[in-house]
Structure 1
Amino acid sequence: MVDLTALLADLAAESEQLDALVAPLPPQAWTRPTPAPGWTVGHQIAHLAWTDEMARLAATDVDAFYASVTSAPDVSRLVDDGAEQFLAPPAELLARWRAGRAALIDALTAVPAGDKLPWYGTRMSPASMATARIMETWAHGEDVADALGVTRAPTDRLRHVAHLGFRTLGHGFAAHGRALPTAPVRVELTAPDGDTWAFGPADAADRVTGPALDFCLLVTQRRHRADLALTATGATADEWLDVAQAFAGPPGTGREPRAASGAGAPA
């Protein structure tokens, strides 16, 4: 059985790590562009604050959650508009993000056992929602770190991101309009502490191997596969690395290979 308390503790820790990175920044650093086109450091934090609030609504007021979608002027711009709506001066935005993520943890803790929460195109258990929030907080934290030229040390919390990346194999294919694969895939990853994280049947012919950090960067579309030390064996595994997507919604645009785009060290 999934330990929701432990998941929520990891979500809080992931948020606190990013908080410690941005809290000391001078106001002008919050306007620095990140790898996400049109988004500054401030937009990244505003997006997390907005998404935390939407998740809290899903856990506490289903009607209000659905109303936030049906009342949107342009559903295709829901995410961008949410970030713009929550964007504020750094001190105000930090306070809102901190209060919102604490309220989300309280809300998820209070969801009755067995209940599923509405989300964009799906429904989630509180544990799945917490895992998704860990994934997004880490991924957007990578965008912020890239913008600031900071390399963050990976932690064991990446296991949640890696597991979600594995579980969403079918979603990646479906989001890109491709037939769902029938061949099982085995994933074997080297964890930050040198341990091995394995998902999928041990006897599967199709396999993905490599560093856990690289796999997480791939499934969150923070790096192109050409820039990562992942090895795919088998046609299904190889195709998956082109369409992997751990987050909900339509297919992401992904990132260009750094060599092809001319990207070097983050600006």
Structure 2
Amino acid sequence: MEKLRDYAQVVAEARTGKLAFPTSVNAALQLQQALADPDCHVEDAIRKVLAEPVLAARSVALANSAVFTRNGGPQVTSARAAVMRVGYRNLYSLASAMVVRQFGARIGDPQLRAKAEQLWRHCASVAALSHVLGRELTQVDPDTAMFAGIMHEVAGFYLLARADDMPGLLDDPDERMGAIHEILSRELLKKLQVPEPVAAAIASLRGGGMSIPPSGLRDTLLLAKRLAPQRAPLVWCDDAVLGRTAAVDAYLKGNTAIDDILLESNEEAKSMSTALLV
């Protein structure tokens, strides 16, 4: 009965919009809003990046990742140079990564914290792979694909954070938890002002089938999740959305095109993933 009350409380929070955001998330959201302003001057963006040491470090790491140095260029050693190289859209994605990670930062339970770290490694890998797959295979804007990869499991992080306050909340993952995860995902993406095309692609992941050949943002995310070396630690965040069908298995088996893409882009995906994990 107590667990049912916890379930009901979490769902009620989502449906009424009364989601419990830590203070650090609100600070990162303010940074996002500034970067989203079309009138945001580059000097203002640089000041805001410098005011957030973690964002500054990730900006420099991303600017030096293989995806941004594939055509040559000197190593970036300052936040100013990083902002100029990666651009506002990717800075926005990095700010989004800060928002998502902050849900797990306050978790005290060691097991839940370990799951949050594993989930973030999964998201970073999916984001990096989505960027590469969008550019090389599915013809999706790579920056949008990376952003979607970062945001696609925000509900999983939120549930892990709430489980820290509600012991036992995640002890029995089942279809009911999957439904709660879906409700939370929709409301969190709305609260975080994720653009509708991205939110719609994320919302359609669970139980969605991948097209053959894959195309569009949802298929890009599904394929990236399928290929990611780090699995998601929550059952309803992983197997239920991978679109495992005989047709997909047959498409992937011995697919030299995808093998070549992954082989050629391995360094890019690894370096981008590392930058997101800084």
* TM-score normalized with structure 2 length: 0.27
Which structure carries more strand by proportion? 1
Which structure's relative contact order is higher, taking Cα pairs within 8 Å and 6+ residues apart?
Answer: 2
Which structure carries more helix by proportion? 2
* TM-score normalized with structure 1 length: 0.28
